[in-house]
Structures are given as C-alpha cells and as structure tokens.
Structure 1
Amino acid sequence: MTDFALNAEVRSDLGKGASRRLRRNANLVPAVIYGGNKEPKSISLLAKDLAKLLETEAAFSHVLTLNLADGKESVLIKALQRHPAKGFVLHADFIRVVAGQKLTALIPLHFLNEETAAGVKQEGGIVSHTISEVEVTCLPKNLPEFIAVDMANVALGQTIHLSDLKLPAGVELVALAHDSDLPVANIHAPRVVQDTEEPAADAGASEGEAEAE
C-alpha cells in the first residue's frame, strides 16, 4: 500500500533566488501550504521523495500527510509547477484539508470495458474520451481515488455524460451543480479515409493515351 506521507521542513528564506538555491544545492522542492483558515506556510520537500510519490496516480486525488517539526498537515495537491523541458517539479502548492469540512478536488476517470463495449465489439466503433478527470466536492473521508466509467453497454453513436456517472456516496460533481452536463466519452464509427491517389493515376494514364494517339 502506498504511504501518502512526506517529510517537510518550514523555510524562512523566501523569493526566487532562495528557491533556486534550494533546488540546486540541496535537491529540495520549495512549496507552500495554505487554506483552512490558517496563515500560509512555506516549506521544502526532498525532490526524490516527491517524485516517487507522484509516480502513483492516486497521489493527486488522495489526502496527503506532511510531517513537519511543529506537527502534521493534512493536504491535497493543488498545483505543481514543472520544468518545461525536463518535467521535474519546480514548486508545489498544497491546500489544507479540514475534517468535517467539504473540499473540492480533481479526480481521474478510469474507463472500463472499452474493448468489449457493445458499440466496439459488435458494431466496430471507436471509443473517444472527452475528459479524463472531473472536479468533485465531498468530505475528506469520502474522497475517491478515481471514478469508474463503465463502457460495457454503450452502443455505437451513444455518448456518456456527467449525469450518467455512478458516484460514490457523499460525492457530488461541481459541473452538475452549475447545470453543466458535459460529455465524458462516446463511441463513434471509424472515419473513412478516401484514396486520392487513384484519380491522379487515372489522369496520368489518360494523358499518356492522348499523347500516344
């Protein structure tokens, strides 16, 4: 089982220059914790520990524990700033999680039974995903690691919308609260690619015949 916990240290040396020194000299990632009716707290984490945690998809939708000298913080990953070319994390934003207080988080969608879906296996259709994650609101104890989208009974030409998703108890979709029933996935017919080379070949043959005459 993945341990969703990281050791962290409070930092007082702030600014872009300080952040660069942390990354370059100590292999640390600067970060900030905010929310929960408390003052923001600037921290740093070991880059290798954070990178290892982020290899697990569930880390992005799971309540994490940050172990600090002055106590523990329960948080969610709110945002990550990555190096544009190499992809490693340059800065992390964490938002506090308060027990008994609803939170908002992005949860990944897991698409099931795509290859055996009715519209694929029986009608030769192709599955297309419109979105890969959804924003939910719920209590921390109800936060799911993912939401399953079962494609088994989806026919050719059919679209699954947010309102069709089966949500865990206590979980609500933010978009539906705003009357935005977005499409999630659909099964459509394969595109027919027309061969445009044959007419050109025929035209060439016609020209050759004309010259021969």
Structure 2
Amino acid sequence: MKFVAFERAKQGTGASRRLRNTGKTPGIVYGGEGQPQLIELDHNALWHALKKEAFHSTILDMELAGKTGKVLLRDVQYHPFRQQITHIDFQRVDAKTKLHMKVPLHFVKAEESQAVKFESCVVNHVMSELDISCLPADLPEFIEIDLSGLKKGMTLHLNEIQLPKGVTAVTRGKPNPVLVSVVVTGGGEEAAEGAAAEGAAAAAPAADAKAAPAKAPAKAPAKDAKAKK
C-alpha cells in the first residue's frame, strides 16, 4: 500500500493542535540510517487507510518530499471519544534487518470439520494474531490456518501449523501456545441429557409396578367388624 506524507516544520502541543484543526494528523518516521523526521498526513485519507488490515501488517510505501521509502506502522493514538487520530508513528525498513511484527491469523474451513459438521461443536479462536520475526521480503500480510481436520475435544497448538517460509514465531511465556480449541455447544449437551431423562421416565412406571405391594384380601373388613363386637 502507498500513502503520501508531508514534512512538518513545527512541533509541540500547540502546533499539533492547530494541525489537527486543519484536518491533518501529526506523525513521525524513525529508524534506519536517517534521523527521526516529523511528518503530517491528511486525516481523512489516513482514517480510511487504517480500516484496512494490510495497512497494519504489511510494508508500506511512503512518499515524502518526492521520494518513496519503505516503512511499517508502529503506533497509532486516538482521541478518547472523538473519531480522530491524534498521532501516528512509522518505522523505516531495512531490507537486511529482521522485523518483529504481529500479523493476523485467518482461520478457514472450520465449517467443513467433523467437530462443527457432525459433533455440534464450536471452534474457539484463542489467538487472533501472532508475533513473528522475519526479513522484510518474507513478511506475510496474514497467516492462514486450515481447521477442516478438527474433531470434538481437540486443541490446535502453534507447533501443529506450517508457518510461511522465512517466518519464525516469537513466543513469550508458553513456548507452544494454543491457537484454537473445540468445545461442545450447550444444545448438544441438552439434547443428550433430554434423551437420558426420557429413557428414565419411560422405565419408571414399570419399576413402580413391580415394586407396588399386593392388595389386601376382600374379607379383611369383615374380620375387623367381628373384633369390634
């Protein structure tokens, strides 16, 4: 993706406020061999660009002062309650230096799995993005994960998926985190419990009939009458 930035001469809270009032967003670009440089961008164009997933996870072409350079989005700051971007940061990209980025996970074909199609299960996405390290040329826009092989009770771990060429996962804490888990829906459990309850109800009358005591003889009331005399 390509966007246009402009050089920003003034800095400070007052200058940034005046810039925002004119429909611009202050920012900075840093890293690489050059010095940090103050920039400004058109707010409306930036607002629409930030709605695209690729703007957050791919290498961008930034046109600045008639030259185009490779950058990555590193930070965005928003106003607490207005629909306004207050500041944005970009990092220059060096083709020979590895990047550390978060890329989104795209889960596909879950509806074709045995767990969803036949076993009344729901697929729970434990992670929605993954920290990776790679060279700029190997940076993927997203990582696609095929869930068609899921079955009831399964969990899918990081070491069970194939990462793109040149990409290494960066994990903290757990070396092999869970990406996806499969859980049984409440409807499936209730159906099983309902069937068991119906079976128990049908068996109850037969059991009660066997357990009921025999009726007393018909002559018993007459004996009671003689005893009273």
Instruction: Tell me the TM-score normalised to structure 2 length.
Output: 0.77
Q: Which residue of 1 aligns with 2:39?
A: 43
Secondary structure in structure 2 of the residue aligned to 1:9: strand
CA distance in 1, matches of 2:68, 2:45: 17
Number of the residue aligned with 1:181: 176
> Is the CA contact (8 Å cut-off) linking 1:22 and 1:28 kept in structure 2?
yes
Structure 2 SS opposite 1:39: coil
Q: Deviations over 1:74-94 (max 9, x none)?
A: 111111111222343221111
Q: Note the C-alpha offset of 1:71.
A: 2.5
Could you say what secondary structure the match of 1:175 adopts?
A: coil
Give yes or no for the alignment of 1:100 onto 2:96.
Answer: yes
Tell me if the contact between 1:148 and 1:166 (Cα under 8 Å) persists in the aligned partners: no
Which residue matches 1:5?
2
How many percent identity over aligned positions?
36
Alignment partner, residue 53 of structure 2: 57
Question: Match of 1:210?
Answer: none
The answer (yes or no) to whether the contact 2:110–2:150 under 8 Å persists in 1 is no
Task: State the Cα deviation string for residues 87-140 of structure 1 (Å, max 9, x = none).
Answer: 432211111111121111110000101222221111110111111111111111
Deviations along 1:158-213, one digit per CA (max 9) or x if unpaired, are 1111212221111111118x76211111111124799xxxxxxxxxxxxxxxxxxx
What is the 5 A alignment of 1:158-197?
158-175=154-171, 180-191=175-186
**Among candidates 87, 91, 94, match of residue 91 of structure 1:** 87
Unaligned segments of structure 1, at least 5 residues: 195-213
**2:26 corresponds to:** 30
Q: Is the 8 A contact 1:65 1:73 kept in 2?
A: yes
CA distance in 1, matches of 2:114, 2:82: 41
Query: Which residue does 1:148 correspond to in 2?
Result: 144
The superposition leaves residues 17-76 of structure 1 with CA deviations (integer Å, 9 ceiling, x where unpaired) of 211111112x11111111124321110011122122222211111111111116222111
Q: Which amino acid aligns with 1:78?
A: R
Question: What count of residue pairs does the alignment treat as equivalent?
Answer: 189
- Matches of 2:97 and 2:162, distance apart in 1: 23
Gaps of 5+ in 2: 191-229
Question: Aligned to 1:134, which of 130, 135, 139?
Answer: 130
Q: 2:156, 2:179 within 8 Å by CA — same for their partners in 1? A: yes
The letter for the 1-side match of 2:48 is K
| 2:71 maps to which of 71, 75, 96 | 75
Query: Matches of 1:127 and 1:136 in 2, distance apart?
Result: 24
Q: Specify the code of the residue in structure 2 equivalent to 1:190.
A: T
**Aligned-residue CA RMSD (Å):** 1.9
The reply to whether residue 111 of structure 1 matches residue 125 of structure 2 is no
Letter in 2 for 1:45: L
Q: 1:162 & 1:15 partners in 2: Cα distance?
A: 45
Aligned-partner Cα distance in 2 for 1:85–1:159: 39
